[in-house]
Amino acid sequence: MNVLGIETSCDETSVAVITDGKLKANLISSQDFHTDYGGVVPELSSRAHLQIIMPLIKKALDKTGFKLEDMDVIAATAGPGLIGALLVGLNFGKGLAYSLGKTFIPVNHIEGHIFSGFLMEEKPDFPYLCLVVSGGHTLLLLVQSDFEIIKLGTTVDDAAGEAFDKVSKMLGLGYPGGPLIQKNAEIYNGELIDFPVSRCKNKYDFSFSGLKTAVLRFLEKEYGGVGKAPEKDIPMLAASFQKAAVRALVEKTELALGEFNPKSLSLVGGVAANKFLRNKLAETAKRHNKKFVVPALEFCGDNAAMIAYRGMKLYEGGYSFNFDFNAYPGLKENPFFKEYSSAE
């Protein structure tokens, strides 16, 4: 079975081909021009997707030796994401499937990330604990099967990746913030500022707005405002913020490992590329004697390989969709997600 995956939820255009469960191609075109604006500009993102999507599909097919007619299933991201960007890939995928008489499978972007660990040679074992950390989402999930996911916690305000981006701007480092924060933190080896970690009513929920505000107040008090910290102090500030953000993620994850005793731990999403977070969670998994699975860097950010894989699993599971399908509902309405009923 051949599956063509399409991903255009934000600022990466990606196309992938999976054949009989094996990844044959995963091409990603990143829109680097957004750095000039300090963030993703939705209208420009949509236009860039329109320009590159067909050439990228042709390139993926050339790489694999397939033709469009050889595809059995066409899967495309159907949310969440930027509406204009999503519409490009979703409608393009629908059009291809309709014109070719092929099966069309819309894929939830978050589900794509959740199962991205299965693109690796060493895969998670069910049930596994999954920490999803990206620019738009922070979720702690107990994944019991391909079609049963228990949402233990989420962010009550900012996502972790968003906090990295905003603090990076405060420090004058630019966008995207994650790699820049990490780069500066890696060159500092001294004492750190003890920024606070928020506590939430639900013990598995996250909050990063307080941490972001704590950094802002420190900059105002010590340096007179945002962008005024001397260059020599930037690595210390970056390392202090990174340590607090990662501590918040690791503490909740370790708590869930102790309560639910899953077989594996998986870290996914764009922020999963952060070396400090990967190392801390690897140490946590080792302490609890759990297999730790984190995708390769090309599968951490938005990519079509995870969309093709999830589309394949939905198809194999007997799920079917018509061409009227436009967007996935929120997690509360998604049939594969259940709420954790014993939250404190």
Annotated binding site for Fe cation: 109, 113, 302
Are the beta carbons of 207 and 163 closer than 8 angstroms?
A: no
**Beta strand extents in the chain (DSSP E only):** 2-7, 12-19, 22-30, 73-77, 103-107, 128-133, 138-145, 148-154, 264-268, 291-293, 337-339
- Is residue 266 within 8 Å of 293, Cβ to Cβ? yes
- Cβ burial, residue 78 (10 Å; 0-12/13-18/19+): buried
Which of 164, 114, 139, 123 is closest to 274 using CA atoms?
Answer: 164
Q: What is the longest distance spanned by two Cα atoms in the chain?
A: 64
How many whole angstroms separate alpha carbon 294 and alpha carbon 129?
A: 12
What's the distance, Cα to Cα, between the start and end of the chain in Å? 45
- Cβ–Cβ < 8 Å for 338, 149: yes
Number of other residues whose CB lies within 10 A of the CB of residue 194: 10
CA triple 27-32-34, angle to 5 deg: 130
Q: Binding site membership: which residues?
A: 109, 113, 132-136, 165, 178, 274, 302
CB-based contact 330:154 (threshold 8 Å): no
Binding residue ranges for substrate: 132-136, 165, 178, 274
Q: Which spans in 156-292 are helix H?
A: 160-170, 177-186, 209-223, 234-260, 275-287
Q: What is the DSSP string of 237-257?
A: HHHHHHHHHHHHHHHHHHHHH
CA–CA distance, 260 with 2 (Å, rounded to integer): 36
Residue 131's beta-bridge partner residues?
Answer: 140, 267
> CB of 253 within 8 A of CB of 140?
yes
